[in-house]
Chain A
Amino acid sequence: MSTRHRIRLTGTLVACAVAATLVAASCSRSSSTQTAGGTADAAQKVYVPPGQYDEFYAFVSGGFSGNMPVYALPSGRLLRDIPVFSQYPEKGWGYSEQTKPMLMTSYGFIPWDDAHHPELSQTDGIPDGRWVFVNANNTPRIARISLKTFDTEEIIEIPNSAGNHSSPFVTQNTEYTVAGTRFSVPIPQADISISEYKNRFAGSLSFIKVDSATGRMAIAFQILMPGFDYDLSHSGKGPSHGWSFFTSYNSEGAHTLLEKNASQRDKDFIAAINWKQAEQCVADGKAVVTPSRYYHNVMGENQVATSEVLTSTKVLTPATCPGMVYYLPTPKSPHGVDVNPSGEFIAAGGKLASVIPVHSFAKMMKAIEGKSFEGEVSGIPVLKYDEIISCEVKEPGLGPLHTEFDDKGNGYTSMFLSSEVVKWRVSDCTVLDRLPTYYSLGHIMIPGGDSRKPWGKYLLAMNKITKDRYLPTGPELNQAAQLIDISGDKMQMLLDFPTIGEPHYAQGIPASVIKDNQVRTYPLADNKDPFGSKSEKEANVVRKGNRVDISMTAIRSHFVPDNIEGIQVGDSVYFHITNLEQDWDVPHGFAVTGAHNSELLIMPGQTRTIAWVPERIGVFPFYCTDFCSALHQEMQGYIRVSPKGGAPAIAFNAPK
């Protein structure tokens, strides 16, 4: 069989190469008559008149921007760019004292990361609009973002991991969000030769419990796995609820030149994890409490973030917990693993495979019951491919990566190499339609398309290469996304718009689920910031040694106090600005000359603090950076800096 696959793949590649040289056509053998879009009909479908709302929110990962942009569909409007893993000077994220703890890790303060996969929380397998999770690939972490505030509320570091890529896909009721190592490493970390990869390196699959009321995350257990690259994941639902599936590549165990050395075998594996069995093993005391060190950062209800350092995790191995892990042979170097809405079919995007294999969960369970194994890998039973496969999508295109589903029994798979979306019927793997995208399609997203309830109206194609799609902007171009209408039998290209960073996956949800839950202001009465001022009468300036705390208020259109004297060169000055407004969309900003960090952007009722060490004498202005009112330009003040040891007493103007 392995030979057959190789021949078929090679054959397709050759056919494409030949076709490409003969005509400027794609290798898609397409019956599609779609043009690049741009018809009047398409324009009508994406036109949202001024003042009216879009039908869907789309949470698109910012990739190497570390943020999470939020778009509206079908218009493609950018609604917000949520700061997550990267310092964001516009919003003071990671610069203000209240937010700095959010970016703490066991490696110290980390100002950047690579945000990959947004995943909405689910109830009964349906996106419930409470939270969206996203993983940091570089320094392994998962963040949870509130969909009431569109702010990052929590970030947990994943220990014993490297390259947190197969993450943060949730289980049916958000019991868990998961995290798998893309890069296997020595676990625990050790100073050993890289050549010992095959014997000493391991992967880990972590299950992070999510509190159903608060969303708070805690690592429940980690499963130590053979040292492959665990690439992507999705959890089961319906009949397959209780299982999670992780693709893996590099079952070859290569540690150098993976592009060749990890592409030798015709099949790698999907790891099927019975997490209910894992829970039982943990309950039976089979997990080993293993020392580790990782950060858990939470934005408190008082809008002040705190970090907690945790020191151990519970670790399971397949050997100590039989029945927890099975390997599903899957061609070839599979990337995405996607479970259809019924929970019965599991499609894999084998990057180098010539088919899209669709496994059957029922057949998988039958094979497990009948112990129909073709062998074992590191003690993990490997099921027989022919006994678990439902069907294979033949000649789907080249470079299948990710599959999303509609509500009519169809799957849609992104083809990186042939740069197209392929629509196929899940029940019999028949290809129904294909549509080119521009260029080199990575992830695709249908709102609810990885859940039990797809809203199968639109598909968002997120491409890796932009080239000539928009007006050129020098060597560096934003990535390109295209919106496709999937409501009919044939897909129709509707809209093309650039995106921020590099989107890896996205999630969509009807706007009606979350738009009415939005927080508009933080109640000033609940402000518990230790340096907050609930009224101008509470404004204050206090010196303790060389630390000066300025509790300042901001309201249209003035600061209190706005004249401050008695500061010395080299003091550590903390401006704690409380926005006294209680009106929606009236933030105030704050900036002071020579600050080595960012501005502050303070939402109504919030307190935000920026540290400032004056380096020279003089009188320095500070001002509101957010045009707040007709007299915004007057919203300013002065702080006087005197020589060290030569300052007058602290003085400031504020009502008593």
Chain B
Amino acid sequence: MKTTSRILVAVAALSLATLFVAPMWRVDLQAPQYPEGLGLRIWINQIRGATPNGLNSINGLNHYIGMKAIEPDQIPELRFMPYVVIGLMLGGLLVAGLGKRGLLYAYLGVFFVIAMAGLYDFWRWEYDYGHNLDPTAAIRITGMSYQPPLIGGKQLLNFHATSWPDVGGWAAIVAVSLVVVAALIEWRASRAASRSLPAVAATNGLVGGIRA
């Protein structure tokens, strides 16, 4: 692998550390009675309200439509997700250190699958909260579900709900993009090498090693 792509992968791995200091996703609910805002901040290991007691307030509102209370303790993903992120970070650093192109492609594959699985899992929880409603709830509207959008905005009764990546999520998007760029660089390099092996060997020198 080229120095550039090894640096890119290392930076990608390290930028994932943002997920430990910033939320991954944000869901915001806007209504006239909440000028100070109401919303959720989803971290890899916790769910918090956007304001102090925001989670309680959302749970309090949701009981009218029969939505289950959001209880972070009951969501197992929040317990193992930090280890997945640590694994992704260590994996990235390993790829950067060893510099093996094949490992990079494998890493990109795993990263992509985990990201997709995460998004699917998030959607699944949203679906569950939005559809699995108490049939005796005070407010029942035939055909109405309250699943917040995975990404973007949606009107849910008096609330306009929006869902977007937060700082940690953007860092993860940047990370996966950097790995994609590194893989592209390596893919082009490997194509060039297959056409002109000595030239590549000369450019890559000792750092990249001769492999292809």
Q: Which residues of A contact B (CB under 8 A)?
A: 521, 555-557, 581-584, 630-631, 634
Contact A521 B138, beta carbon cutoff 8 Å: no
Q: Judging by beta carbons under 8 Å apart, are B64 and A555 in contact?
A: no
Please, which residues of chain B bring their CB within 8 A of the CB of A630? 64
User: Judging by beta carbons under 8 Å apart, are A582 and B138 in contact?
Assistant: no
Chain B contact residues, majority secondary structure? loop
Contacts of A555 in B (CB 8 A): 60
Complex Cα gap A232–B60 (Å): 52
Q: Please state if B36 and A556 are interface contacts (CB–CB under 8 Å).
A: no
- Nearest-Cβ distance from residue A346 to partner chain B, whole angstroms: 47
A581 to B60 alpha-carbon distance, docked (Å): 8
Find chain B residues with CB under 8 A from A521 CB: 53
Say whether, besides A521-B53, A631-B138, A584 and B60 are in contact (CB < 8 Å): no
Taken residue by residue from 37 to 59, chain B's Cβ proximity to chain A (1 for < 8 Å, 0 otherwise) reads as 00000000000000011001100
Closest to B158 in A: A630
Q: List 7 A-B contacts (CB under 8 A).
A: A581-B60, A582-B52, A582-B53, A582-B56, A583-B57, A583-B60, A630-B64
Residue from the list A556, A557, A583 in contact with B53, Cβ < 8 A: A583
Residue from B36, B53, B64, B138 with most neighbouring chain A CB atoms (10 Å): B53
Chain A nearest CB: distance from B121 CB in Å? Answer: 29
User: A555, A583, A630 — which one has the most chain B CB atoms within 10 A of its CB?
Assistant: A583
User: What A residues does B138 contact at CB under 8 A?
Assistant: 557, 631, 634
- Cβ-closest chain B residue relative to A581: B60
Q: Please, which residues of chain A bring their CB within 8 A of the CB of B36?
A: 584
Which of A521, A581, A584 has the most chain B CB atoms inside 10 A of its CB?
A584
Instruction: Report the minimal beta-carbon distance from B57 to chain A, rounded to whole angstroms.
Output: 5
**Shortest Cβ gap from B32 to chain A (Å):** 12
* Contact residue among A581, A582, A584, A631 (Cβ-Cβ distance under 8 Å from B64): A631
Contact partners of A631 in chain B: CB under 8 A = 64, 138
Which B residue sits closest to A556, measured CB to CB? Answer: B60
Rounded to whole angstroms, the CA-CA distance of A309 and B50 in the bound complex is 46
Contacting residues, chain B, for A557 (C-beta < 8 A): 138
Q: A556-B60, A583-B56 are in contact. List 12 more A-B contacts (CB 8 A).
A: A521-B53, A555-B60, A557-B138, A581-B60, A582-B52, A582-B53, A582-B57, A583-B57, A583-B60, A631-B64, A631-B138, A634-B138
Q: How far is the CB of B183 from chain A (nearest CB, A)?
A: 48
Give A581 to B57 CA distance when docked, in angstroms.
Answer: 8
Nearest-CB distance from A526 to chain B (Å)? 13
CA distance A521 to B52 in the complex (A): 10
Shortest beta-carbon distance, B136 to chain A, in Å? Answer: 13
**8 nearest A-B residue pairs (beta carbon):** A582-B53, A583-B57, A582-B56, A631-B138, A556-B60, A555-B60, A583-B53, A584-B36
Q: How far is the CB of B178 from chain A (nearest CB, A)?
A: 41
Q: Nearest residue in A to B52 (C-beta to C-beta)? A: A582
Expressed in whole angstroms, the Cα–Cα distance for A580 and B47 within the complex equals 20
A155–B68 alpha-carbon span in the complex (Å): 46
CA distance A555 to B69 in the complex (A): 15
| Beta-carbon nearest neighbor of B56 in chain A | A582
Q: Nearest chain A CB to B20's CB is how many angstroms away?
A: 26
